[in-house]
A and B are shown apart, each in its own frame.
Chain A
C-alpha cells in the first residue's frame, strides 16, 4: 500500500518547530488508516476512529481538536496502544506497534507517555507524590538496561520537580494537598519521569481555571522547547490548541476533516466545519464580528451520515456531498482537507 503523502505534515513544516528534528525527517509517529470500531448491542457499530492517517515529526506538536464524540480521545489512546485498534497501523519511529504484545511493548512505553484531564483521578490519593513518581523509575530499567539505584531515583525526582516548578517538599505530600494546577504539574512530572520522546496529552488543561490554565500551557511549551519533546495535544479549546501546536488536525465524527499548520487551519480554514468551529468560539472582545452559528446537532456517531460526514450541518452542502465521501487531499503544501468544495483562501 502506498502511503498517501498528502496526509503527512511535510518535513519543512515541522523543521522550523524544532531544531532537533533530524535531517532524515522520519516521522516519530506514523498513523496509517487506523480504525477503532466498537460493537454495541442490537448489532450496531460505533466507528469511534474511522480511517485516520497522519504523521507527527519529532519536535512537532500536533493539536487534535473536535467536539464531543469526534473520536479524538479514542485516537489518543490508540496511539499509545492503551486501546487496541481494530485495523490500520501505528508506527513509532518506524516500528509497527499495532500488533506488539504487551511484553514487547514495554520498553517502548517508556518512550511514550500520557497526561489526562482529571488531575486528581490520575494520582493515587493514598500514596506520597514521591512514591508515585518513583514507581516507573523502579519498574523500568535505565537505558543501559540496569536497575536504577536509590540515589539515581532521588536525583531524578528532584530534577523532575525542578522541571515542573514545584518545590522538592512536594514529594512528601499527598495528591489532595495540591491545587488543580499543581496536581497537573505532578502528572506532567510523572509522564516525564522516564524521559519519553512522545507525550499524548488528553484535555490536560480543560478542568483548570483560566488563570491556572495559562501557567500549565506555558509549562507544556517550556518543556517542549527544553527537552525536545513531541506532543499530541488533544483539546476541545481551539485557543489553547492554537497556542501550543505547530500543526492541527480537526476531527469530526471519527475522521480528520482538515490537517495542516496551525495558522493555516485556524486562520484560513478550508473545511466548512473548521471554519464554523473557529467562528463559534466566543472571543473575549465586545462587539467582535460573529458568523451565524452552525445549525443542528452533531449526529450520533452510531448513525453517521452517508456521503460527507458533515453534510447534515454544512451551510454549503451540494448534492455530491450527500452521496460521495470526500477523501483527505492536499490543497497546498502541508495543508489537506476532506471536502469536495474547500473554502477559498481568506
Chain B
C-alpha cells in the first residue's frame, strides 16, 4: 500500500513536470517571439527590458530559464506581472482560488444529489412517463448554454423580478467571503451554483440511468432478485453502489477541470473574481507570468483530483484494490 502511494506520488510529480515544461516551452521558447518584451509589457523602457531579462535569465540556456521560472513560481513566489504594474502573481491566484472553490463545491453538491436522485428514479421507473420526462428535463439542462442561463437568471433575479417578494433577497453580483459573512456568502452563490449545476445534472442523471439500466441485465442483479430482495434494495445496494464506480471517475475529472478554471463563463456572468476569470484576463492581455501560474494551478488540481479519484476507486472497487 505504501509503495503504491509513493509510486502514485512519483507519477503525479512527473506529470506536473511534463505539463509545466510543455507550457513553458510554448509560451517562453517559441522561436521568433521575445518573452522579455511580452513580460515587460507594451512600450517598456530599455531599463525595464534589461531588468526583466536579468530577472528571468532570458540570456541564459533554456533549462536555466525553466528552473528560474519554477523557482519564482513555487519557492520565492515572487513571479510578477509587469503588464499589471508588477502585481505578484501567486497571491493573486491565492485570492481567486477560494471564490472558484466555493462556486464549484456548492454546485457539485447540488448536481451530485439531484443527478443521483433523478437517475435512480428514472432507472427504477424505466419506460414510464416519469422516466421519459426526467430524461427530457436532463436533455434540456444539457442543451442550455451556461452563459445564456446565467444571463437569464440575472435578468430575472437582478432586474425584472428583483423587487418581488420572490427575489428581493438576491444580493447584487459579486462575491462575499465565507469567513466574513456566511449567510451573505450563501446568498451570493446560490444562484450561480444552480446555474453551473444544471448542465451537469442533465449529463450525470442520464449517464447514471443508462448505467443502472445496463446493470439490471447483469448476472449479479439477477442473483439479487433470486435472493428475494426488495426491488428498492436491489437498485440501491447492488445497482447504484456498483454504478458509483463510473460516476466517481466522471465526477473527479469534471470537478477538477471546473476548480482549475473551467467555470470561467459562470464566473464572468456573475461577476465572481475566480480563477477562471483570472485566466481569461491573463490570456487576453497575454500576461505570460499569470498564464504560466494559472495553467500550473489548473494542472495541479486536475492531477490531484485524478489521484483522489484513484484513491476513491480503491474504496469503491475491491478488484482495483487487488490489482495494484
Say if the two chains contact directly (CB < 8 Å): yes
Instruction: Give the docked Cα–Cα distance between A41 and B4 (Å).
Output: 11
CB of B324 within 8 Å of the partner chain: yes
Chain A residues with CB below 8 A from B324, complex form: 41-42
Query: Quick one: CB contact mask for B244-267 with A, threshold 8 Å, 1 for yes?
Result: 000000000000000000000000
Chain A residues with CB below 8 A from B323, complex form: 41
What's the minimum C-beta distance from B314 to chain A, rounded to whole angstroms?
A: 15
For the side of the interface on A, what is the size category?
under 10
What's the minimum C-beta distance from A38 to chain B, rounded to whole angstroms?
A: 15
Chain B residues with CB below 8 A from A42, complex form: 324
What's the minimum C-beta distance from A106 to chain B, rounded to whole angstroms?
A: 38
Instruction: Give the docked Cα–Cα distance between A42 and B7 (Å).
Output: 12
Q: Secondary structure at chain A's binding surface: helix, strand, loop or mixed?
A: helix
Instruction: Give the docked Cα–Cα distance between A42 and B323 (Å).
Output: 9
Name the CB-closest residue of A to B323: A41
Chain B residues with CB below 8 A from A41, complex form: 323-324
Name the CB-closest residue of A to B3: A42
What's the minimum C-beta distance from A300 to chain B, rounded to whole angstroms?
A: 12
Query: Quick one: CB contact mask for B285-324 with A, threshold 8 Å, 1 for yes?
Result: 0000000000000000000000000000000000000011
How many CB-defined contacts (below 8 Å) exist between A and B? 3
Instruction: Give the docked Cα–Cα distance between A42 and B324 (Å).
Output: 7
Instruction: Give the docked Cα–Cα distance between A42 and B4 (Å).
Output: 10
Name the CB-closest residue of A to B324: A41
Name the CB-closest residue of B to A42: B324
What's the minimum C-beta distance from A302 to chain B, rounded to whole angstroms?
A: 12
Query: Quick one: CB contact mask for B102-128 with A, threshold 8 Å, 1 for yes?
Result: 000000000000000000000000000
- A residues 41-61 with Cβ under 8 Å of B? 41-42
Instruction: Give the docked Cα–Cα distance between A224 and B324 (Å).
Output: 47
- A residues 104-135 with Cβ under 8 Å of B? none
What's the minimum C-beta distance from B3 to chain A, rounded to whole angstroms?
A: 9
What's the minimum C-beta distance from B144 to chain A, rounded to whole angstroms?
A: 39
What's the minimum C-beta distance from B240 to chain A, rounded to whole angstroms?
A: 30
Instruction: Give the docked Cα–Cα distance between A42 and B322 (Å).
Output: 11
Instruction: Give the docked Cα–Cα distance between A203 and B153 (Å).
Output: 64
Instruction: Give the docked Cα–Cα distance between A263 and B142 (Å).
Output: 68
- A residues 129-175 with Cβ under 8 Å of B? none
Name the CB-closest residue of B to A40: B323
What's the minimum C-beta distance from B5 to chain A, rounded to whole angstroms?
A: 15
Instruction: Give the docked Cα–Cα distance between A291 and B323 (Å).
Output: 38
Instruction: Give the docked Cα–Cα distance between A41 and B322 (Å).
Output: 11
Instruction: Give the docked Cα–Cα distance between A41 and B3 (Å).
Output: 12
Instruction: Give the docked Cα–Cα distance between A214 and B32 (Å).
Output: 75
Instruction: Give the docked Cα–Cα distance between A317 and B323 (Å).
Output: 34
What's the minimum C-beta distance from A46 to chain B, rounded to whole angstroms?
A: 14
What's the minimum C-beta distance from A122 to chain B, rounded to whole angstroms?
A: 25
Instruction: Give the docked Cα–Cα distance between A41 and B323 (Å).
Output: 8
Instruction: Give the docked Cα–Cα distance between A9 and B323 (Å).
Output: 42
What's the minimum C-beta distance from B11 to chain A, rounded to whole angstroms?
A: 14
- B residues 203-221 with Cβ under 8 Å of A? none
What's the minimum C-beta distance from A303 to chain B, rounded to whole angstroms?
A: 14
What's the minimum C-beta distance from B322 to chain A, rounded to whole angstroms?
A: 10
What's the minimum C-beta distance from A91 to chain B, rounded to whole angstroms?
A: 38
- A residues 295-336 with Cβ under 8 Å of B? none
What's the minimum C-beta distance from B6 to chain A, rounded to whole angstroms?
A: 14
What's the minimum C-beta distance from A43 to chain B, rounded to whole angstroms?
A: 11
Instruction: Give the docked Cα–Cα distance between A39 and B106 (Å).
Output: 46
What's the minimum C-beta distance from B290 to chain A, rounded to whole angstroms?
A: 41
Instruction: Give the docked Cα–Cα distance between A42 and B321 (Å).
Output: 13
Instruction: Give the docked Cα–Cα distance between A29 and B324 (Å).
Output: 40
Instruction: Give the docked Cα–Cα distance between A96 and B324 (Å).
Output: 39
Instruction: Give the docked Cα–Cα distance between A198 and B299 (Å).
Output: 56
- A residues 188-216 with Cβ under 8 Å of B? none
Query: Quick one: CB contact mask for A22-49 with B, threshold 8 Å, 1 for yes?
Result: 0000000000000000000110000000
Instruction: Give the docked Cα–Cα distance between A42 and B1 (Å).
Output: 11
Query: Quick one: CB contact mask for B218-248 with A, threshold 8 Å, 1 for yes?
Result: 0000000000000000000000000000000
What's the minimum C-beta distance from A279 to chain B, rounded to whole angstroms?
A: 31
What's the minimum C-beta distance from A327 to chain B, rounded to whole angstroms?
A: 35
Query: Quick one: CB contact mask for B184-215 with A, threshold 8 Å, 1 for yes?
Result: 00000000000000000000000000000000
Instruction: Give the docked Cα–Cα distance between A41 and B324 (Å).
Output: 7
Using a CB–CB distance below 8 Å, which chain B residues touch chain A? 323-324
List 3 tightest A-B contacts by C-beta distance, closest first.
Answer: A41-B324, A41-B323, A42-B324
Using a CB–CB distance below 8 Å, which chain A residues touch chain B? 41-42
Could you name 3 residue pairs across A and B whose Cβ atoms are closer than 8 Å? A41-B323, A41-B324, A42-B324
